[in-house]
Structures are given as C-alpha cells and as structure tokens.
Amino acid sequence: MRLWSVHPRYLDRQGLTAAWREALLAQKVLTGTTRGYRNHPQLVRFTPPGWPPPPFPGRAVRVPGTAYVPDPQPPAAPQPRDPGQAITTFLHGIADEAAARGYVFDRSKVLHPPDPDLRLEVTDGQLAHEWGHLRAKLAERSPDVLARWSGVGVPDPHPMLVVAPGPVAPWEVLDDLE
C-alpha cells in the first residue's frame, strides 16, 4: 500500500488508479470492514487520534499441539466505524486529479465530502523520499511521464498536505520493495 504524499498530478495512469484503489482500501481498514492491512504503517497519519486499531473478526487461535483453528468464541460482528475526514479528504484529492484528466472515479465510494480546511503535515524529507521512489517507478513503466516532470526538483504535496521541515516519516519503511 502506498498513500502518496506527492501531488497526484505526478502519478502516471497506473499510479493514479493504484492510488485510488489503495486509498479506498485504507478507508475500509479504518472503518474496520476489512481484515487486511490493519497495521500498515502509512495508516498512522490517517487514523483519528486516540483510536484503537480496527477490530479483527474471525481471528484464528492456536490450540497447543494442534493447527490453528477458528476462535471458538468469535467476537461479535464489528460495527463499521467512521474513518474520519483525513482519508476521505485524501481520496477526494485523488478523484479531483482523475477528473482533471478525464477519468471517472466513483466518488460514491467515499464516505464523506472533502473537508477543504483539513491539513496534515508531511515533512520535506518524506516528500523527497517519495519523489525519488516515484521517479524510479516512472523510469521503469512511464518514461514519458518522468520526462514531463524532469525539471521538478521538489514536488508539490497532495492538496491536503502542508510541508514542514523534517526527516523521512517514522512510519515509512525505508527498505520496501514496492
């Protein structure tokens, strides 16, 4: 899962559609309506303060001397939670870029309208790290898009993010193989 801090305008077609899918997945994780990616480090910045991790229904337990078996007392079905404004505003930023390119992303999948006043911080170190990561991806699959942005030394952030001085974010996995 990659929830890009760089402005969606820099993403190629594949990157933009992947960003949409992955942000929708993040919204599902934050509502507690999916089992995967619950502990993904990039979700930290989109999780409302004070929230525990989403519930994990149907977890398996290990009975000593046997294989894993379903929990004999499965928890009650989780009630979907409100994912908060951060991830939904992030999704709208991606959908806005898609619309500017003539794509139609189904905004009915986004649980809230955007909050035009919501801003999250991203460090200049994180933005630079992601810019290098994205440029490497573009060099492999979309050299024409990379060439379009060749003069950009410091990219703009996603519209809901503001840049502050600092290192790569602590939630970033620096040796990832995305």
Q: Closest Cα partner for 29 from 75, 105, 87?
A: 87
Average pLDDT, the chain: 84
SS3 90: helix
Q: Give pLDDT tens digits for 65-107.
A: 555 555 555 555 555 667 788 999 999 999 999 999 999 999 9
Residue 165 makes CB contacts below 8 A (sequence gap 6+) with 123, 124
Task: For the chain, give every domain's residue range.
Answer: 8-51+81-164
Give the tens place of pLDDT for each residue, 6-24.
999 999 999 999 999 999 9
**Count of all residues that appear for the chain in the document:** 178
